[in-house]
Amino acid sequence: MGPQSSDALERVAHYSLMHALRGRRSRRFGRGMRIDAGPLADASRHPPQPLSEAEEAVLAFAACGITGYDLADLSYGPGQGGSMLAGLLGRTIASPDSVNAVSLVVTNDDATYLLKRPVDFPPTEIPDLIRLSREGRLLELYRRSRVKIADGRCAPPVEPGYNFNINKWSLYARGGTYFIPIESMTGAYLNVLLEVFDPTMGLFGIDERNFFRPAGIGKFAKSKGGTLDDDLSGGRVFTVQAIEMALAESVAVEQGMLLQNLGLMTQAMGLGGFSNYARHEYSWFEALGFRMGQLPGSRYVGAPRVLSFILGLLGRDQPYPSPLGLERDGEVWLKPYCPPTYPSMKAAVEAFVAYKFGPQGVYRDKQAATDWKHPDAVRAQIAPPSQSAIDATIAYGEYLYNRYGRFPVYSAPFRTVIGYQATHVDVEFYDRFYRPEALTETQRQHQALWHA
């Protein structure tokens, strides 16, 4: 960062949280934008003004920058659930079980980037990244954390079916930087299953779409000599829909924290910005160049094979696009723990267990630093999932994938919900139509501090 942006960053570092909370607003009208009709019709007299790389770096750090090590201050005794944590690195946002299920894509007029998650870095790089974070060297941290996935801006259409009319005039505006969080569902799902199928929890899963029959785990039921409590009156039975809705809500909370941080940092910097609808099954993934699959509609609903065959002959088995992963130049940056990335759900479950407890896993890699004073001694006492929990997770996952053609069932392996657009505020628009308090001094001083 140059001298001017360094001074601006110093001001941001001392901007109080209380001021950010009070001043945070959605400010949509940026330089270069126009509203064609209605009582606020106006056209900016300024050209579009892209965010600088330094400005994007500060926002990216606020959104999900790596900050240090998880304390992981849990009970790791038998049946205490401590090993449910799936990571030992902290970001500026909390993550259920430290799975870090949310990735962030940053797109502007020049390029589109994916920001690496903690798991995407070699353990030996992490201490240096934490040092950059603590020293406030956010531009260097940003450059080291991003992967270019496309030239120019990537974005889906804004027409109805993809978005709401309320956003048509403003989305993907020239000069703006758009942040789209991507939720990765499969790792978080497997992590939960390995815990709920542990004998000390012993939950039993049933499929409401298949007459409430066991979801592939009948042989693990207590009534058949297993460890999972299939007594409906015992409160330990869940449906596929219930567990997947809970999972989606938990991951969405992680995304919500990311968006709140963007809003607060936008205020602290004196930029404009707003959260907006981005929930579409596949349009963002097509725009970003994900590898896509086609799931027949009959497979999605678990229709009998005879009916699927008939629908196919009639040309009425509508294909359903589904994102399967993000790859560039031979590198796989986002992959789900399910086929076709893995040959089977069994292989996917085993890979996830190895991610946590393999030789280079979260709880076994001696090269990975932590904040524990004696990490080797602590790691040695953290037990992996029981074999019965692993076997039940495999059986459940294979049942869902074989019957419905994907994992999870009610969602694609990746999903989007809300995005965030940041711009340079057109101060004149707000002075023309709003009382003075609509803008704070941070918006009025931004050009002088960051771009004089």
pLDDT of 162 > 90? The answer is: yes
Q: Which amino acid is at 393?
A: T
What residue type is 289 in one-letter code? Answer: G
Q: Which two tokens stand for residue 424?
A: 């340079």
Model confidence over 267-291: pLDDT tens digits? 999 999 999 999 999 999 999 999 9
Domain with 35 in it: 3-451
- Listed residue (337, 384, 348) closest to 363, CA to CA: 384
Q: What are the phi and psi torsion angles at 32 (to 5°)?
A: 90, 0
**pLDDT digit string (tens) for 25-69?**
999 999 999 999 999 999 999 999 999 999 999 999 999 999 999
pLDDT digits (tens, 9 = 90+) for 365-401: 988 889 999 999 999 999 999 999 999 999 999 999 9
Cα 193 from Cα 371, distance rounded (Å): 28
Tokens representing 2?
């140059």
- Compute CA 342 distance to the chain's CA centroid, rounded to the nearest angstrom: 21
Q: How far is Cα 30 from Cα 32, in angstroms, rounded to an integer?
A: 6
User: Which stretches within 197-320 are classed as H helix?
Assistant: 240-269, 283-288, 297-300, 305-313
Predicted local confidence at residue 4, as pLDDT = 55
What is the mean predicted confidence (pLDDT) over 18-28? 97
pLDDT score of 315 more than 80: no
Task: Give pLDDT, residue 311.
Answer: 74
Q: Measured between alpha carbons, how far is 263 from 276 in angstroms, rounded to an integer?
A: 12
Kind and range of the H or E element at 16?
none
Q: What is the mean pLDDT of the chain?
A: 94
d(CA 9, CA 27): 21
Q: Tally the domains of the chain.
A: 1
| Structure tokens given for 428 | 């004149």
CATH of the domain at 256: 3.40.109.10
User: In whole angstroms, what is the distance from residue 330 CA to residue 244 CA?
Assistant: 32
Band the pLDDT of 307: cuts 50, 70, 90.
confident
Measured between alpha carbons, how far is residue 33 from residues 49, 168, 175 in Å?
10, 12, 9
Confidence of residue 306 (pLDDT cuts 50, 70, 90): confident
Instruction: Say whether 66 sits in a helix, a strand or coil.
Output: strand
Query: Do residues 432 and 441 make contact, with C-beta atoms less than 8 angstroms apart?
Result: no
Q: How confident is the model at residue 157 (pLDDT cuts 50, 70, 90)?
A: very high
Residue type, 72: A
Q: Do residues 288 and 154 make contact, with C-beta atoms less than 8 angstroms apart? A: yes
- Residue 247 contacts residue 254 (beta carbons within 8 Å): no
Nearest Cα neighbor of 122 from 367, 423, 385 is 367
Residue 2 has pLDDT above 70, yes or no: no
Instruction: Look at residue 151 in the predicted model and tell me its pLDDT.
Output: 97
Checking if the pLDDT of 304 tops 80, the result is no
Percentage helix, strand, coil for the chain under 3-state DSSP, each rounded to 5:
40, 20, 40
**pLDDT confidence of 5, banded at 50, 70, 90?**
low
Give dist(CA 72, CA 76) in Å, integer: 10
* Confidence class for position 320, pLDDT limits 50, 70, 90: confident
Candidates 451, 8, 427, 59; CA nearest to 264 is: 59
Q: Please state, in angstroms and rounded to a whole number, the distance separating the CA atoms of residues 393 and 190.
A: 7
Is the torsion defined by CA of 208, 190, 199, 344 positive or negative? positive
d(CA 55, CA 61): 10
Which pLDDT tens digit goes with each residue over 415-449?
999 999 999 999 999 999 999 999 999 999 999 99
- Count other Cβ atoms within 10 Å, centred on residue 245: 13
Q: What is the pLDDT of residues 69-128, one digit of tens each?
A: 999 999 999 899 999 999 999 999 999 999 999 999 999 999 999 999 999 999 899 999
Q: Which residue has the higher pLDDT, 74 or 7?
A: 74
Return the amino acid letter for 348. Answer: A
| pLDDT at residue number 3 | 45
**Angle CA 291–188–99, to nearest 5:** 100
Neighbours of 281 (CB within 10 A): 15
Name the percent of the chain lying above pLDDT 90: 88
